[in-house]
Chain A
């Protein structure tokens, strides 16, 4: 049984009069096994962060989960009460946010903030939480944790802060850790160290990881599975290596194609034409059609459903089955 299974999950933002509907997350189906790493890739506005917040049920008031199920360790998270959900957060599913400086409360010590989930979820005493905090800081490779623990967030460097946030995340030994663009605000050199740390933690604790990013390079390094999101939908899903080798969806192709490679002989960079769609006023048909170089009439008229290309790969594109069977035939 997968650790996490999202089935046809949709989250919509509704305006006060109900007139505007923004389909931030639309019919998303994904699953994740224990210990696996899933990468979710997309432009800003593609719904990746909303998806993460949906899993944790921490959406703003204007958002509503309108359909689907979220099965975590066999339980449907949507059936849980607010209080039960609160007990899941931080303890069984943890999340790391993008900006570590803003994530830490400037007025409280590191020790206090790292130990807090332990005090709340496991009833640890101040003293034992403090000791655990020191151990946690050590496990995220922070030097002299005993001194660090009494300091304040602004006294740390950016890389350190992100590790601290990581320590907060794993403090209660969750089964799943969601990382929302955790390396975006870090220097390149620190990024590599941090990613290595995450992988080590994953191995040591048997963590499943959902890695939300727009950086395909990180996906290549870290992830087993990949889900590509566009305008709230998962447009391609499958093992990372296979998708990188042979992308099925035109958007994925464009993303992979736009990464400059040293071996290329190009004298210009390719970008993807057009702008990300305005989720509040979507055209009929496939959401990527306006920008798609391979679109034909059906794409503009009907939204494509998810096609199983084979037992591992799914793609939401009218072309995909055509291409796949052509390939199979040849």
Chain B
């Protein structure tokens, strides 16, 4: 197993490397990097200064080296708009995104897993069909659409829920649901198909042959096996959620990472944009690695195979 872990870590390192190269190249190579890395409205002399400061006249390799050096030092540049280091800004906003993601993930699992199980156990039944519609909509509808409709309904017409900002529980409900729907659909589909696959296996047949009550067959034998891929996916999705929440946070003016990204593009604050993307990408690579390792540790088949 140690070999497996070492290999996985190696892959992740490679991915991180490629990620940094991609981001670096795209910025340097397309168009004029200066206009991105310089504050809007700077004078020509300032621009020249910064060009030299950032080493934009140096060969690409050196630039990349500087880029990576500052990354490792935790320097992601400074926000033009807020005039604070990007990293600081990021961690300021992160808790809000985490909160939103946690609630949305909980919702998506609470809805997705049971309905997925039901859909598999009663294939083509009412729950299965209802589930299919729910997941089709969840996977198809753009999040900003869902969010706006919810606002229209619950804020404008019914006046029950506040339409923006972060405050109490009421402020969380709509954004969490909007963010969570897509993932609830994904989790439901995966639970359903995983469950169906498990239900068709020989050990389930044997469990029935043993005369076990159906509740035990499904609740004990089928469930544990079926949920493995779902939990794996959910773990990764938590991090993905934080990164794709940009639309939801914008619609609901939720002060998280997503909204930070939006501000970055609206105010042409490129360091912020770059910072969010770099951290986001790195986060996802790391969580994938983590989940793979955890998986190896938990699944008895892999654990003892060393």
A binds B: yes
Which of A65-73, A89-97, A224-232, A307-315 binds B? Answer: A89-97
B-side contacts of A103, CB under 8 Å:
202-203, 205-206
Docked complex: B201-216 residues within 8 A CB-CB of A? 201-203, 205-213, 216
A-side contacts of B221, CB under 8 Å:
105, 108
Complex Cα gap A120–B221 (Å):
14
A-side contacts of B205, CB under 8 Å:
58, 97, 103
The contact of B209 among A87, A89, A105, A154, by CB within 8 Å, is A89
- Indicate whether A104 sits within 8 Å of B210 (C-beta atoms), given known contacts A152-B301, A154-B301, A155-B304: no
Complex Cα gap A264–B76 (Å):
86
A-side contacts of B202, CB under 8 Å:
97, 99, 102-103
Docked complex: A125-158 residues within 8 A CB-CB of B? 152, 154-155
A91 and B211 within 8 A (CB): yes
B-side contacts of A154, CB under 8 Å:
300-301, 304
A89 and B203 within 8 A (CB): no
A-side contacts of B224, CB under 8 Å:
107-108
A-B contact count (CB 8 A): 69
Docked complex: B200-257 residues within 8 A CB-CB of A? 201-203, 205-213, 216, 221, 224-225
- A292 proximal to B (CB < 8 A): no
- A26 proximal to B (CB < 8 A): no
B-side contacts of A90, CB under 8 Å:
209-212
- A284 proximal to B (CB < 8 A): no
The contact of A117 among B203, B211, B225, B304, by CB within 8 Å, is B211
Chain A residue nearest in CB terms to B206: A103
B212 and A102 within 8 A (CB): no
B-side contacts of A89, CB under 8 Å:
208-211
Closest beta carbon of chain B to A218's beta carbon, Å: 21
- A223 proximal to B (CB < 8 A): no
A97 and B206 within 8 A (CB): yes
A86 and B211 within 8 A (CB): yes
Closest beta carbon of chain B to A81's beta carbon, Å: 13
Complex Cα gap A323–B211 (Å):
46
B211 and A97 within 8 A (CB): no
Complex Cα gap A120–B216 (Å):
9
Closest beta carbon of chain B to A42's beta carbon, Å: 20
Complex Cα gap A209–B194 (Å):
36
If over half of B's interface residues share one DSSP class (helix, strand or loop), that class is named, otherwise mixed; here it is: helix
Interface string of B5-28 (1 = CB under 8 A from A): 000000000000000000000000
- A201 proximal to B (CB < 8 A): no
B-side contacts of A24, CB under 8 Å:
none
Closest beta carbon of chain A to B210's beta carbon, Å: 4
- Indicate whether A95 sits within 8 Å of B201 (C-beta atoms), given known contacts A107-B225, A152-B304, A154-B301: no
Chain B residue nearest in CB terms to A95: B209
B-side contacts of A86, CB under 8 Å:
211-213
- A306 proximal to B (CB < 8 A): no
Closest beta carbon of chain A to B122's beta carbon, Å: 11
B208 and A58 within 8 A (CB): yes
- A106 proximal to B (CB < 8 A): yes
A97 and B225 within 8 A (CB): no
Docked complex: A154-176 residues within 8 A CB-CB of B? 154-155, 165, 168
A-side contacts of B201, CB under 8 Å:
102
- Indicate whether A120 sits within 8 Å of B211 (C-beta atoms), given known contacts A103-B203, A154-B301: yes
The contact of A152 among B210, B216, B225, B300, by CB within 8 Å, is B300
- A88 proximal to B (CB < 8 A): yes
Closest beta carbon of chain B to A271's beta carbon, Å: 30
The contact of B211 among A88, A108, A152, by CB within 8 Å, is A88
Closest beta carbon of chain A to B299's beta carbon, Å: 8
Complex Cα gap A86–B304 (Å):
35
B-side contacts of A97, CB under 8 Å:
202, 205-206, 209
Complex Cα gap A86–B210 (Å):
8
Chain A residue nearest in CB terms to B220: A108
A-side contacts of B225, CB under 8 Å:
105-107
- A221 proximal to B (CB < 8 A): no
The contact of B300 among A91, A104, A106, by CB within 8 Å, is A106
- A121 proximal to B (CB < 8 A): yes
A-side contacts of B304, CB under 8 Å:
152, 154-155
- Indicate whether A107 sits within 8 Å of B300 (C-beta atoms), given known contacts A97-B202, A99-B202: yes
- Pairs A-B, 8 closest by C-beta atoms: A90-B211, A89-B211, A102-B202, A90-B210, A105-B203, A103-B206, A95-B209, A117-B210
A and B contact pairs by CB, cutoff 8 A, 30 listed: A58-B205, A58-B209, A86-B212, A87-B211, A89-B209, A89-B210, A90-B210, A90-B212, A91-B211, A94-B209, A97-B202, A97-B209, A102-B201, A102-B202, A102-B203, A103-B205, A105-B203, A105-B221, A106-B300, A106-B301, A107-B224, A107-B300, A108-B221, A108-B224, A117-B210, A120-B212, A152-B300, A152-B301, A154-B304, A165-B206
Task: Give chain B's interface residues, CB within 8 Å of chain A.
Answer: 201-203, 205-213, 216, 221, 224-225, 300-301, 304
Q: Given known contacts A97-B209, A102-B203, A117-B211, what 16 new A-B pairs fall within 8 Å (CB)?
A: A86-B213, A90-B210, A91-B211, A94-B209, A97-B202, A97-B206, A103-B203, A103-B206, A106-B225, A120-B212, A120-B216, A152-B304, A154-B304, A155-B304, A165-B206, A168-B206
